[in-house]
A and B are shown apart, each in its own frame.
Chain A
Amino acid sequence: MELSSLSATELAKKVQSGEVKVKQALEEVFSKIEEREEALNCYITLEKEAAFRQAEALQEKIDTGNFQGTLAGVPVAVKDNICTKEMRTTCTSKMLSSFVPSYDATVVEALKAAGAIVIGKTNMDEFAMGSTTETSAFGVTKNPWNEAHVPGGSSGGSAAAVAAGECFFALGSDTGGSVRQPAGFCGVVGLKPTYGLVSRYGLVSYASSLDQIGPITKNVEDCASVLEVLSVYDEKDSTMSARAVKTDYRSALQDDITGMKIGIPEAFFTEDLQPEVKSAILDVEKVLRGKGAVVEKIDLRYIRYAIPAYYVIATAQASSNLARFDGVKYGFRAEEYAGLHDMYSKTRAEGFGEEVKRRLMLGAFTLSEDYYEAYYKKALQVKQLLKQELDAVFETYDAILSPVADGIAPKIGESLPDPLKMYLGDVYTVCANLAGIPAISVPCGKDKNGLPIGVQFMADSFREKTLLRLAYSYEQSKNGQV
């Protein structure tokens, strides 16, 4: 039996039954890491010895009948902006290059309790600001399908690690598409849950009203399994919804979408959408129709304003959240300075990379007295309008179908010279964050050079089951052809 062909859910079952040892699962991923990591650079930190120690302890519990967990013995990679106790958490920034958290994020605690083994921390755009993983202070991650291309971002290391078999699943964070877009570019499944469904305690904040932690997995079943573990109410996160209760998401995995109503926003099919992506999305539409779903065009007039609203809100909240990095409490401090204020501004100038500084300046500007009304307040109003527009759509439709990105993964080096162009690429994904709704990215094909294309489904708040059923049903019809 080839362990690498197993999903996380299948592996956990075999570990639980004793057919596979936890150690074997770790050996499998570390052999893949040995083979590919030097070229791909998915990981910032790997804790091999600690992982094998945990494996031994877990195996003993399993062998003596003292452990039951849906992720028993499954090696997982965690994005490097999610705190892991005694495991370095850098946000891929010089600012936090030696930061070691004294606690586990709630999601990490939950994964461990379910039997998953955290093997390391994955590369990302610095403080999750970027769409390519190229703003990392630790070098770019390469796309496992073609190393001349980026894996997407900001959770690029997590998506690439899953695609390359360097872990069985991973956690990412999604503020404007950072789980779904790299999942799409790497040919794996990525979910951004409803705002408030998954605890963010221990996630280093970027834009607090938009950030969500989500799973990146090999298939939709794994996505449901991991979501079951993650979506548990946590009193340490005051933005959690009371609706975050233990839910059997796997019960939604039924290959039946007869009568499901799906909307396709015409506004997404502009000339910027690459023809191969467009035709892949239209193929998805055909498949869904063939399975009995009703697919109709819908009109969303506020999509045009989603990107400006998103970047105003995200940068404003980032400039406030990242004020905590002051050279006093965590990690880096400039070597030479004259007085307190000079220490602050030199530490931040030396500790943050170019894209982070750009966003902090934009945020400081749009929050400043003269511009607050015209930008920040305005953006929050537009967010409200977009939310209302989507609410109205979900009165009639069960889900929205769209691309994840306007093209396939760009080549390394192509995106950073034009930040605005890079921001515009997020148009398909930011709506879900602005509206707080769940959205999933599922592989739906490849371009002529073999690079993956993803399709996105969105649903109303807390309708993760609808989303999973639709994604699962679509996945079944492909029979692993991607």
Chain B
Amino acid sequence: MELEEDTLRGSVPGKTSLAYWFAPLFLCLVSATHLYQVKVRGQTPWIGGGFGMFASLEGPGSRLIEITLETTIGNIAVAPPQGPLDGLYTALRVLPSETNLRRYGEALMGLDWALETPRPAVSSLENLALPAAEKTETSPIVDPTPRLRAGATGDRSTGIEVRAVTLRLWQYRFELETRRVRMAPRLEVRVDGSAP
């Protein structure tokens, strides 16, 4: 079938006008920058304009953050609070730099923390096979570890004083032969509230 050549001249090589090459050049420039960001600064290949999605296990979800607050009642691990720090948390998992980790730590220090009601613990590795809903309902052991949660800003009357926060960024690796997933430490930062 012959095509309408005059309507499809976009195929003819030798286009010199910027209208033909501006967007493709832009794409190449951004993709090359993203490649540099991934290889030099540790950004995830998945997002950021480089088209590296569905190629690597190093997506933002493979990077987890362990947060330990140093408080007046001891060192307490807390889950990343949801809400106003979501943007920083995402940025940290996309580009896990020391700067981003420190920035997130400082933001955590700025929150007010309150004691949470004790909850049942995940007691053993056997529990790993249970559906998530059953883990907390069926486990007979109550976790004695004090838990903190981010409270409403400004309400310090019931809060816990946080002196410092230690952040550890973990990255999981998959071993194909054994089907084993291991968490490997990647970065650690301590933000001291008493430091000037």
Check if A and B associate: no
What is B's interface to A at a CB cutoff of 8 Å? none
